[in-house]
């Protein structure tokens, strides 16, 4: 066998028993280019960052940077003190304002009513998933309010809930005295929240139905075979299986209540009666648009952001705990 500088090929020859033919196998002589391999690894490593970079830049430019400017602006004065650093003066003024304290109390009310706002679309989605009679029609009807403008919804319920409106007319025919639904400080906020839930639960319904698409139907069949009732099926099968979906709906519904009720408040009550329906976002608009107090409005916006941030962090903890349990 000749020996030289060239790389020898590996040959294996086997004589066939029948015809004596020889079969020769030769290994490929080429190898992987190290430079090309390093380039592929580099592209694989940095590719995700390149794809995510545009979204990150948009969030930083349109969300994070204005947020930081607003936080910085909240420590300056208004009017004659415009641009002058006043420290925590705006925050002290906020917590001394009865309207802002009412807005924070209403935030607490929203937290208490949140389980109801989540349970309603969850139960309706359960009935649709279980294919109750007319479930196809209900799927469309339940989602319809979600496409309506808050201004339209507010105008409709202003007519329905007026002191001389249809609802009180029906109650009067049943011998019940008329109720000032939107003029009573003890009832107005509940009415606004109820209208908001009616107008927006269609989106949560869609999320729940998407969660049901991942549910193992064998679990429901096993529960039926064991003789479980509908409440038992919901509590012991559906709720544990859709825990992540339920947590997601909790967070999105709460954020929506804190940031998307301005239209209803403006049309239905304008913050009244007696400021009983104020929420932080409505208070921010009053200070910015009518009182010309942008620095004070920035301070209120910062507090609202902190409330939502705390809620988000709590939700992360809940998700991590659920993941460990799984």
For 242-286, how does the pLDDT look when each residue is reduced to its tens digit (9 = 90+)?
A: 888 888 898 889 889 988 999 999 999 999 898 999 999 999 999
Q: What's the mean pLDDT in 160-181?
A: 93
User: In terms of C-beta density within 10 A (0-12 exposed, 13-18 middle, 19 or more buried), how is residue 21 classed?
Assistant: exposed
Average pLDDT over residues 199-220: 89
Mean per-residue pLDDT of the chain:
84
The predicted-structure confidence for 95-109, as pLDDT tens digits, reads as follows 999 999 999 999 999
**pLDDT above 50 (res 129):** yes
Q: What is the pLDDT averaged over residues 206-222?
A: 88
pLDDT in the model for residue 102: 94
Which run of H or of E encompasses 95? helix 89-95
Q: Which two tokens stand for residue 158?
A: 């202003």
Cβ burial of 93 (10 Å; 0-12, 13-18, 19+) is: middle
Please give the average per-residue pLDDT across 288-310, as a whole number.
89
- Token pair 């239209």: residue: 263
pLDDT of residue 12: 42
Q: Is the pLDDT of residue 50 over 90?
A: no
What pLDDT, on a 0 to 100 scale, did the predictor assign at position 232?
A: 87
> What value does the mean pLDDT take over residues 113-132?
90
Contact 102, 265 (CB under 8 A): no
Give the model confidence (pLDDT) of 143-156 as tens digits: 888 889 999 999 99
Q: What is the pLDDT of residue 169?
A: 94
- Alpha-carbon distance values, 193 to 204, 269, 273, 311 (Å): 16, 12, 15, 19
Task: Express as a percent the part of the chain with pLDDT over 70.
Answer: 85
Structure tokens at 126: 């359960």
Task: Supply 208's token pair.
Answer: 């729940």
Residue indicated by tokens 């969300």: 63
pLDDT at 324: 60
| Cα–Cα–Cα angle for 64, 247, 111, rounded to 5 degrees | 80
* Span 97-325 CATH architecture: Orthogonal Bundle (1.10)
> Strands (DSSP E) along the chain, which ranges?
11-15, 22-26
Report how far residue 227's alpha carbon sits from residue 206's, in angstroms, rounded to the nearest whole number.
Answer: 29
> What residue segments make up the domains of the chain, in order of their start?
40-73, 97-325
What is the spatial distance between Cα 109 and Cα 144, in angstroms, rounded to a whole number? 27
Q: Is the pLDDT of residue 69 over 50?
A: yes
CA-CA distance, 189 to 109, in Å (whole number)? Answer: 9
Q: What is the pLDDT of residue 251?
A: 85
Across the range 228-241, mean pLDDT stands at 85
pTM above 0.85, yes or no: no
How many residues in total does the chain contain?
326
């Amino acid at each position: 066998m000749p020996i030289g500088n060239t790389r020898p090929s590996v040959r294996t020859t086997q004589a066939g028993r029948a015809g004596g033919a020889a079969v020769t196998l030769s290994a490929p002589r080429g190898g992987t280019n190290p430079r090309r391999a390093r380039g592929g690894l580099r592209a694989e490593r940095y590719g995700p960052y390149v794809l995510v970079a545009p979204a990150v830049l948009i969030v930083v430019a349109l969300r994070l940077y204005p947020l930081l400017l607003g936080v910085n602006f909240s420590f300056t004065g208004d009017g004659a003190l415009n641009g002058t650093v006043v420290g925590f003066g705006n925050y002290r003024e906020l917590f001394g304002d009865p309207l802002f304290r009412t807005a924070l109390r209403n935030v607490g009310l929203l937290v208490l009513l949140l389980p109801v706002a989540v349970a309603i679309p969850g139960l309706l989605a359960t009935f649709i998933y279980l294919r109750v009679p007319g479930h196809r029609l209900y799927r469309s009807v339940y989602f319809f309010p979600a496409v309506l403008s808050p201004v339209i919804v507010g105008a409709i319920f202003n007519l329905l809930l007026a002191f001389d409106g249809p609802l009180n007319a029906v109650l009067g025919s049943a011998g019940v005295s008329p109720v000032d639904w939107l003029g009573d400080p003890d009832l107005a906020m509940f009415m606004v929240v109820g209208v908001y839930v009616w107008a927006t639960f269609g989106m949560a319904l869609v999320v729940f139905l998407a969660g049901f698409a991942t549910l193992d139907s064998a679990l429901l069949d096993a529960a039926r075979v064991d003789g479980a009732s509908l409440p038992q099926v919901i509590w012991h099968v559906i709720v544990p299986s859709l825990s992540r979906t339920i947590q997601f709906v909790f967070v999105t519904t709460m954020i929506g209540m804190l940031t998307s009720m301005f239209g209803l408040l403006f049309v239905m009550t304008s913050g009244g009666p007696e400021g009983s329906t104020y929420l932080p976002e409505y208070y921010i608009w009053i200070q910015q648009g009518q009182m010309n107090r942008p620095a004070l409005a920035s301070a209120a916006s910062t507090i609202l952001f902190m409330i939502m941030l705390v809620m988000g962090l709590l939700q992360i903890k809940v998700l991590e705990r659920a993941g460990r349990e799984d």
